[in-house]
Amino acid sequence: MGLLNNKTAIITGASSGIGKAAALLFAAEGASLVLNARGHQALQEVADRIQGSGGTARIVPGDTALPDTHERLVTEAGKSFGGLDIAFSNAGTVGTMGPLADIQIADWEKTIATNLTSAFLGSRYQIPQMLKRGGGSLIFTSSFVGTSVGLPGMAAYAASKAGLMGLVKGITADYAAMGIRANALLPGGVDTAMAGNESQKEWAAGLHAMKRIAHPEEIAQAALFLASSMSSFVAGSALFADGGNAAVK
């Protein structure tokens, strides 16, 4: 279909799960990609697969909690592809789990840094480059945890993911009139390594009206909608791709 022809996209957390599925789909839809994850080898394998299928991808390994990583991603987008149109801030962590009073401050800060501060840092570098092209699409992977429900032992994760909604609204207030669309994507349970073992996945499936968890490719399709011109009047929104999870709480 070529929904992303002549577009350049940054995707973080692109070596596995939702990020990998989005990278493969965005490339198939015509985007030139700059991919990020902490692990070099797995990231390179995704890029090689894209290029082997006729797509275009560059890799920038690094920790998204560090400003330098985002500066390098944006620089690579400009150097290799002339600019930036789309950024899918997908890298994240469940973090240390446990009752809130048992969470160490360092563990709290790490979860917030990975899930929320990284999104701020990415936006800070991405928005100026998008403005040079007259606008762009920012997509953030949030969660039903912290927005529609709380789950035991996940207060730090919930706070970080709920914070993304505030970031989306703030960016929208600041930049929507300039062509920047910021939206959050809220998956339910997804069949990735973060979902845990089979017993945990089965438990998670029961939370959803559809009584199953998603395939990563299903969440990537929702991200494609937010990345493409199909969502041209969608800004500041929370798109639940959660199998009816929020609807039955």
Query: Looking at the annotation, which residues are catalytic?
Result: 157
Q: Which two tokens stand for residue 51?
A: 């290029």
CA distances from 212 to 18, 121, 133, 189, 201 (A): 16, 34, 40, 8, 9
CA distances from 128 to 84, 101, 124, 248 (A): 9, 40, 7, 40
Q: How many CB atoms lie within 10 A of CB 130?
A: 25
| E strands, 45-191, in order | 56-59, 86-89, 136-141, 180-187
Nearest to 143 by CA among 120, 115, 123: 115
Name 140's Cβ contacts closer than 8 Å, sequence gap at least 6. Answer: 89, 90, 119, 164, 167, 168, 182, 183, 184, 185
Question: What is the rounded CA–CA span in Å between residue 169 and residue 143?
Answer: 16
Question: What is the rounded CA–CA span in Å between residue 166 and residue 89?
Answer: 15
Question: Phi and psi at residue 184, in whole multiples of 5°?
Answer: -105, 140
